[in-house]
Amino acid sequence: MASTIKEINVAELREWQASGKDFQLIDVREQNEYDEAHMDGLLIPLGSIPENIDKISSDKPVVIHCRSGKRSANAISYLQSNHDLENLYNLEGGILAWQNS
């Protein structure tokens, strides 16, 4: 019973930020990757998602990103399957797309 993963692109995310939309941004990369470049999101490395469920909002949109979109998609699949969260969006292309926009 695979849920569809909703996606948001960089332009849409920038619109959300510019309009002051209330959402949470989560980065599922590792600390060293975050240290090199980040978007000011909450760092929850992919492997530590299970013990950090309480930090993930269930009452507003949550945009999850990684380097390119693969790990964040895995995080969303896990959260949808195991924690019934339907407010999650994968950032298309991850931080690479963000940096190149």
- Report the C-alpha gap between 83 and 53 in whole angstroms: 8
Q: Which helix (H) or strand (E) holds 18?
A: helix 10-19
Catalytic residues: 66
Q: Is 56 left (phi over 0), alpha (psi -120 to 50) or beta?
A: beta
Please answer whether residues 65 and 42 qualify as being in contact, where contact means their C-beta atoms are separated by less than 8 angstroms.
Answer: no
Tens digits of residue pLDDT in 39-78? 999 999 999 999 999 999 999 999 999 999 999 999 999 9
pLDDT higher than 70, residue 1: no
Q: What are phi and psi of 90, to 5 degrees?
A: -90, 130
Average model confidence (pLDDT) across the chain: 95
pTM of the model: 0.95
What are the structural domains, with CATH classification, of the chain?
A: 6-99 (3.40.250.10)
pLDDT higher than 60, residue 22: yes
Greatest Cα-to-Cα distance within the chain, rounded to the nearest angstrom: 37
pLDDT higher than 60, residue 2: no
